[in-house]
Amino acid sequence: MKSKRIAIVSHVNPFSKGSGQVERVYNTLLALAYEWEELTIFTLHENKSYSDKIEVLRSVNKRISIVYVKNKKPNWLVAFLFKFLPYLGYGKESNFSIPFLFDGIENELATKFDVVLFEYWHLYKLAKRLKNRGIFVICDTHNILLNSFTEFIRKKKWFPKIYQSFLIKRYTHLEFEIALKENFNVVIAINKEEEKILKRKFPNQKIYYFPMGIKLKPIITTRVKKEIPNQYTVVYYGGLSSIRNSQAALQVIQAIEKIKEIEIHLIIVGSNAPSFLKGYIAEKKGITMLGFVENLEEAFKGVDLAVIPFEGKYGFRSRLIELMHYEIPILTTEDAVWGMGFIDKENVLISRSVWEKDIQIALQQVDLRTQIAKNAKNIIEEEFTFEKTYLKFASDLIQMVD
């Protein structure tokens, strides 16, 4: 084990449950626990922590400390400025609120640790000061935030297009010319396309490709090909708390409703469904909403196809990797697999026309679906396991620091 002391700073609580970001931070922690002797996580919201996740971590390394930073509230004027300044071209509210919460830990980071890993780049000013004091600082970008910010701004139709372009230009400058430029010793890219972008933007900086791996659970039951003609099961899988994801689930429902030639049962797996989606489903037949599911193998039993109409070219879609692990063929968008290295009709199906048409075609091509699912599973076992991603990073980091 590495004797140097490492700290992780994350506004995402890795001991909570639900999102891919949570699992990203937690699995990073778990991998570092195997390789590093002294490890401390600074995070928020102790009340959202699950003790079982902490126990697993400490069973690997007992010298792990958890520091819950006080979730202090700004006064009304500061809170107003946090919400108002982004519309003048100063990033997003998180660019102010996160530094506000973590501003009190600088001295502890500077005096007690050799390495600090920041989840996201919001604390770039703190990272710069630590770097100037000789601390090795890393930024796990999670994704290029410009892409999600652009989507966020473009949906504000009441903003004139020229003003939208101004805000996007300002955010681009903040991310690439101020935040990520020379403030970190290492910048982590989460997919291959983002790695290319970051290497082009920062040719003299260390860019490390570290995709979203999955701690895969053993599969107990072997999948068998169903022989019932014109009866199929489709799944939508993804957290439903965001408008984008809940609308994607609704898109799948409405596409399937238009298919009359075959019988389709739809399963929706995902936590925190909004009331409008629950209400819509309550009036429909042939749809099962499971919510958050611990045993995915059981939930995916008998599923013929996953339909995931995600939009936005950013990040890494860990839900797709989980589906592939269970040999579920996936029909999705080019956006959803951007930068992940998947190829249409080889290890994934890409929808380029009308969803209901593509769903029906995919369901009726049994042999193609079977082969795609097998090819996809082979790729994730070669590239996206916990060992090939998180443990590799934890080991490589020792070499980078030395």
pLDDT category at 260 given cuts 50, 70, 90 is confident
Looking at residue 265, its pLDDT comes to 93
- pLDDT by residue (tens digit) across 27-41? 999 999 999 988 999
Residue 8: both structure tokens together: 């992780």
Give, rounded to a whole angstrom, the gap between the first and last alpha carbons of the chain. Answer: 13
Q: To 5 degrees, how large is the angle CA 81–CA 85–CA 87? A: 135
CB atoms near residue 39 (< 10 Å): 25
Work out the average pLDDT over 47-57: 93
C-alpha closest to that of 383 among 336, 298, 331, 316: 316
Label residues 269-308 b or e (16+ Cβ within 10 Å = b): bbeebbeebeebbeeeeebebeeeeeebeebbeebbbbbb
Work out the average pLDDT over 370-376: 95
Cβ neighbours for 367, distance < 8 A, ≥ 6 positions apart: none
Q: Which domains does the chain have, with CATH numbers?
A: 2-215+385-401 (3.40.50.2000), 231-383 (3.40.50.2000)
| pLDDT over 90, % of the chain | 59
pLDDT category at 2 given cuts 50, 70, 90 is low
pLDDT of 274 strictly over 90 = no
Average pLDDT, the chain: 90
Q: Which of 124-128, 196-200, 319-323 has the lowest mean pLDDT?
A: 319-323
pLDDT of 240 strictly over 90 = no
Looking at residue 23, its pLDDT comes to 87
C-alpha closest to that of 310 among 262, 243, 395, 382: 243
pTM, two decimal places: 0.85
Looking at residue 115, its pLDDT comes to 96
- Per-residue DSSP letters for 88-129? GTS--THHHHHHHHHGGGHHHHHHH-SEEEEESSTTHHHHHH
- pLDDT by residue (tens digit) across 184-196? 999 999 989 999 9
Which residue would you say has higher pLDDT here, 243 or 135? 135
pLDDT category at 222 given cuts 50, 70, 90 is low
Label residues 351-379 b or e (16+ Cβ within 10 Å = b): beeebbebbbebbebeeebeebbebbbeb
Work out the average pLDDT over 297-315: 85
